[in-house]
């Protein structure tokens, strides 16, 4: 039997949320921290982030008289400032379509500048203005240039900066370890179960505090910008362990994924001035967001693109594309500011954006919903706010909720960093305050060994990959950008059928070492688990808000729907039970208003 491992703190996920939590907890004095990552830590999806990280630090402004799309210039020392945390807060609330919690948003935007300066002091290589201050660009839904960036490699430089600090403080990284279970008894989290992928050994890992920073789950859709690893393991594992999931119907589709691939062409493309055009060569955003044009928030731009496509004005062999036209920016600017996206377009669709429009299409990108947490990262056991003792979550797998029904670009790197940090502080407080390793009943590792043995011994004819593909097809067709009751019913029926078929799926590889067949099966199981929650929550929310757009309920319904949906797995039927939680709204300062751009 594989050895039981113990740590004071165990963090699952080595992206920005996990790395910040590890760095911070060790800075606070916790000596014994383990971080698990199913892929090499530096391959975490945070490293793929391109465009920027938001904070109102007032370094650039539009040149006077050039309009909302004109060039930017430095704000000279002593000149009037154009940005503030209040404006960042308003933009985020409006972007969230009044489903984000105002107290959490206020905390995030107020602490944002300190996060940027902390990165700077840790040596992060930001792009710079001529006078040495951090460069800022425009991003969708933000009233002013507020995206701090490093060319189009922002996530890469941020992740490397925090990862090396976590290493420096002695964090133990378990690279290519797969967490497959969470141990919660009597509402106290006691550890996790994980597989060392190299050997196939299953270990129980006990800890005084456990944090999930397991990232997003765009892989439930056919076209996605998300890495292969983004299969929502954390949300599915937590849900199976009895923890609720919140706002799962809110899935963001990014307007510019490479045509047929989904790979992201950063919003920085439009932030720097790119146009979107249809088959007639029209800049169609004029008809949907005359003021902000291409820099309207993502939900609105994606819906506009989809409308153009559905009405026959798409491009590409199947008419499912739109053009991203960057030619007017010129070679020099493209090579300086967007070298990575240019290469991606060249490599994957053979279009050099310097002299050719790039075909793109909406792509599943970000999961606003997830494991409900408070601002200290403590996971909530129910709508009344009772925490699960010793269980924390941060980053994309968590729902604070600061992004509500639609996240603004660049707010996610900020949220993952800040709430990862805050969870690190709280876990340290718990451990240094004398928390104990709690006893575990039964044999969790053994139980999971049995689960894998059963999977290997199955003789059924079903194929795991076929099931995953069929799931992605129904999620895209029936639970995608535009939804309605009939489609969502279909999605739920399909998922139910696929869950049944999964029980008869067998795998070919029966060995222990680096068995990716087993992992793909468990990941598909997770996709099936949380996709059901997405579809059930989407069916329940009978209105359109942010990224959740129902053709049968096209209006936002503030009277009935300023509330979060929580889904808990029913112990007997295994179906999601839905309940509701109030949104924290500051009715005085930020009352709901119509969302126009
Ligand atoms: C292409 C792309 C570009 C983006 N650009 C921006 C941007 O410019 N600005 C912005 O604000 N946001 C951006 N985002 C969103 C942002 O990058 C993510 O939301 C954020 O980085 C998530 O960080 P995280 O720490 O929560 O998760 P991740 O960085 O995804 O890390 C997840 C970690 O969990 C681990 N893990 C998962 N499951 C398991 C398991 N079962 N066992 C063990 N380990 C596990 C993984 O190995 C990984 O280490 C972008 C996203 C994408 C996909």
Rg of the chain in Å (alpha carbons)? 23
Q: What are phi and psi of 482, to 5 degrees?
A: -110, 130
Ligand 1 center to residue 63 CA distance, Å?
Answer: 35
Calculate the CA dihedral of residues 354, 265, 404, 477 and round it to 10 degrees.
Answer: 120
Q: Give the Cα separation of 165 and 498 in Å (integer).
A: 43
Ligand 1 center to residue 240 CA distance, Å?
Answer: 22
Ligand 1 center to residue 341 CA distance, Å?
Answer: 18
For residues 334 and 326, the answer to whether their CB atoms sit within 8 Å is yes
Indicate whether 68 pLDDT > 80.
no
Top mutation candidate among 39, 45, 158, 261 for ligand 1, by most atoms within 8 Å of CB: 45
User: Which candidate in 206, 270, 298, 541 is catalytic?
Assistant: 298
Q: Per-residue pLDDT tens for 537-577?
A: 999 999 999 999 999 999 999 999 999 999 999 999 999 99
Q: Per-residue pLDDT tens for 275-314?
A: 999 999 999 999 999 999 999 999 999 999 999 999 999 9
Average pLDDT over residues 105-118: 98
Q: What are phi and psi of 148, to 5 degrees?
A: -85, 135
Q: What are phi and psi of 136, to 5 degrees?
A: -135, 145
Helices (H), 338-434: 339-349, 411-432
Task: Categorize the per-residue pLDDT at 90 as very low, low, confident or very high, splitting at 50, 70 and 90.
Answer: very high
Helix 516-540 × helix 464-478 angle, to 10°: 20
Indicate whether 355 pLDDT > 90.
yes
Residue 229's pLDDT is: 97
Average pLDDT over residues 258-270: 95
Distances (CA, A) of 596 to 270, 297, 546: 19, 10, 12
Task: Categorize the per-residue pLDDT at 483 as very low, low, confident or very high, splitting at 50, 70 and 90.
Answer: very high
Indicate whether 214 pLDDT > 80.
yes
Q: Give the Cα separation of 402 and 104 in Å (integer).
A: 6
Ligand 1 center to residue 42 CA distance, Å?
Answer: 11
Atom of ligand 1 nearest to the CA of 13: 34
Residue whose Cα lies nearest atom 2 of ligand 1: it is 49
Q: Per-residue pLDDT tens for 163-205?
A: 999 999 999 999 999 999 999 999 999 999 999 999 999 999 9
Q: Give the Cα separation of 561 and 570 in Å (integer).
A: 23
Q: Give the Cα separation of 420 and 380 in Å (integer).
A: 16
Number of H helices, E strands in the chain: 15, 26
Q: Which residues contact 558 (CB under 8 A, 6 or more apart)?
A: 98, 592
Average pLDDT over residues 25-33: 97
Residue whose Cα lies nearest atom 31 of ligand 1: it is 15
Q: Give the Cα separation of 99 and 114 in Å (integer).
A: 26
Residue 284's pLDDT is: 98
Atom of ligand 1 nearest to the CA of 413: 11
Ligand 1 center to residue 155 CA distance, Å?
Answer: 9
Top mutation candidate among 5, 21, 44 for ligand 1, by most atoms within 8 Å of CB: 44
Ligand 1 center to residue 572 CA distance, Å?
Answer: 33
Top mutation candidate among 49, 146, 422 for ligand 1, by most atoms within 8 Å of CB: 49
Atom of ligand 1 nearest to the CA of 218: 53
Task: Categorize the per-residue pLDDT at 27 as very low, low, confident or very high, splitting at 50, 70 and 90.
Answer: very high
Residue 596's pLDDT is: 86
Ligand 1 center to residue 325 CA distance, Å?
Answer: 28
Q: Give the Cα separation of 489 and 215 in Å (integer).
A: 28
What pTM did the predictor assign?
A: 0.97
Ligand 1 center to residue 17 CA distance, Å?
Answer: 8
Task: Categorize the per-residue pLDDT at 2 as very low, low, confident or very high, splitting at 50, 70 and 90.
Answer: confident
Top mutation candidate among 215, 230, 400 for ligand 1, by most atoms within 8 Å of CB: 215
137 catalytic? Reply is: no
Percent of the chain with pLDDT over 70: 100
Q: Taking the CB of residue 504, how many other CB atoms lie within 10 A of it?
A: 12
Q: Where are the beta strands (DSSP E) in 47-164?
A: 53-54, 60-62, 72-74, 136-137, 147-148
| Burial environment of residue 512 by CB neighbours within 10 A (0 to 12, 13 to 18, 19 or more) | middle
Q: Give the Cα separation of 438 and 338 in Å (integer).
A: 50
Ligand 1 center to residue 215 CA distance, Å?
Answer: 4
Residue whose Cα lies nearest atom 5 of ligand 1: it is 49
Residue whose Cα lies nearest atom 20 of ligand 1: it is 46
Top mutation candidate among 41, 46, 419 for ligand 1, by most atoms within 8 Å of CB: 46
Atom of ligand 1 nearest to the CA of 178: 42
Q: Per-residue pLDDT tens for 30-48?
A: 999 999 999 999 999 999 9
Ligand 1 center to residue 485 CA distance, Å?
Answer: 31
Atom of ligand 1 nearest to the CA of 52: 8
Atom of ligand 1 nearest to the CA of 17: 25
Q: Per-residue pLDDT tens for 387-401?
A: 999 999 999 999 999
Tokens of 318: 């199947």
| Burial environment of residue 429 by CB neighbours within 10 A (0 to 12, 13 to 18, 19 or more) | middle
Q: Taking the CB of residue 234, how many other CB atoms lie within 10 A of it?
A: 28
Indicate whether 101 pLDDT > 80.
yes
Atom of ligand 1 nearest to the CA of 412: 11
Ligand 1 center to residue 529 CA distance, Å?
Answer: 20
For residues 479 and 535, the answer to whether their CB atoms sit within 8 Å is yes
Average pLDDT over residues 330-343: 95
Residue whose Cα lies nearest atom 9 of ligand 1: it is 410
Indicate whether 587 pLDDT > 90.
yes
For residues 275 and 283, the answer to whether their CB atoms sit within 8 Å is yes
Atom of ligand 1 nearest to the CA of 237: 41
Q: List residues near ligand 1 (CB under 6 A).
A: 12-18, 36-39, 41, 44-46, 48-53, 154-155, 177-179, 213-216, 225-226, 229, 233-234, 264, 366, 395-397, 409-413, 416
Residue 70's pLDDT is: 86
Inter-residue long-range contacts of 185-189, CB under 8 Å, 24+ positions, other chains counted: 185/438, 185/440, 185/441, 187/381, 187/386, 187/388, 187/389, 188/388, 188/389, 188/390, 188/438, 189/379, 189/388, 189/389, 189/390, 189/391
Q: Give the Cα separation of 220 and 226 in Å (integer).
A: 10
Residue 67's pLDDT is: 79
């Amino acid at each position: 039997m594989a050895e039981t491992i113990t740590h004071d703190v165990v963090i699952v996920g080595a992206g920005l949320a996990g790395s910040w939590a590890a760095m911070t907890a060790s800075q606070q004095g916790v000596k014994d921290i383990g971080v698990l990552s199913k892929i090499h830590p530096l391959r975490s999806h945070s490293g793929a982030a391109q465009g920027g990280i938001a904070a109102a630090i007032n370094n650039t402004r539009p040149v006077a008289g050039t309009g909302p799309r004109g060039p930017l210039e430095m704000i000279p020392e002593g000149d009037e400032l154009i940005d503030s945390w209040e404006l960042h807060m308003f933009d985020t609330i409006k972007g969230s379509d009044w489903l984000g919690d105002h107290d959490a948003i206020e905390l995030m935007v107020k602490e944002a500048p300190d996060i940027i300066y902390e990165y700077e002091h840790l040596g992060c290589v930001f792009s710079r203005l001529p006078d040495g201050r951090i460069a800022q660009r425009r991003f969708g839904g933000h009233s002013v240039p507020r995206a701090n960036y490093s060319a189009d490699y922002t996530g890469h430089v941020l992740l490397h900066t925090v990862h090396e600090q976590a290493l420096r403080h002695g964090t133990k990284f378990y690279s290519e370890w797969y967490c497959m279970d969470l141990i919660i008894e009597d509402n106290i989290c006691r550890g996790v179960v994980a597989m060392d992928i190299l050997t196939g050994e299953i270990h129980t890992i006990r800890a005084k505090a456990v944090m999930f920073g397991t990232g997003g789950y765009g892989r439930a859709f056919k076209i996605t910008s998300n890495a292969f690893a983004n299969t929502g393991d954390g949300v599915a594992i937590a849900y199976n362990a009895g923890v609720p999931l919140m706002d799962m119907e809110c899935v963001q589709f990014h307007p510019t994924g490479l045509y047929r691939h989904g790979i992201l062409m950063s919003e920085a493309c439009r932030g720097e001035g790119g146009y979107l055009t249809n088959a007639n060569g029209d800049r169609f955003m004029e008809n949907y967001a005359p003021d902000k044009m291409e820099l309207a928030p993502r939900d609105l731009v994606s819906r506009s693109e989809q409308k153009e496509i559905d009405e026959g004005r798409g491009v590409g062999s199947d008419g499912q594309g739109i053009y991203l036209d960057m030619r007017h920016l010129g070679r020099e600017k493209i090579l300086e500011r967007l070298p990575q996206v240019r290469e991606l377009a060249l490599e994957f669709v053979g279009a050099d954006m310097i002299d050719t429009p790039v075909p793109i299409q909406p792509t599943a990108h970000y999961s606003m919903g997830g494991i409900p947490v408070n601002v200290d990262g403590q996971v909530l056991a129910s709508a009344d706010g009772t925490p699960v003792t010793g269980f924390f979550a941060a980053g994309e797998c968590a729902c604070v909720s600061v992004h509500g029904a639609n996240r603004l670009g660049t707010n996610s790197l900020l949220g993952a960093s800040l709430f990862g940090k805050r969870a690190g502080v709280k876990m340290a407080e718990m451990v240094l305050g004398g928390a104990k390793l709690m006893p575990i009943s039964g044999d969790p590792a053994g139980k999971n060994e049995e689960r894998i043995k059963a999977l290997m011994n199955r003789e059924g004819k079903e194929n795991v990959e076929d099931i995953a593909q069929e799931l992605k097809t129904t999620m895209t067709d029936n639970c995608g950008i535009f939804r309605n009751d009939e489609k969502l019913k279909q999605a739920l029926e399909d998922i139910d059928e696929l869950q049944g078929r999964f029980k008869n799926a067998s795998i070919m590889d029966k060995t222990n070492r680096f068995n990716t067949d087993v992992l793909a099966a468990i990941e598909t199981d997770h996709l099936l688990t949380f996709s059901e929650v997405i579809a059930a929550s989407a069916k329940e929310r009978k209105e359109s808000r942010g990224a959740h757009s129902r053709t049968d309920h096209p209006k936002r319904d503030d009277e009935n729907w300023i509330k979060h949906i929580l889904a808990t797995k029913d112990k007997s039927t295994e179906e999601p039970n839905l309940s509701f939680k109030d949104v924290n709204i500051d009715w005085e300062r930020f009352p709901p208003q119509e969302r126009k751009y």
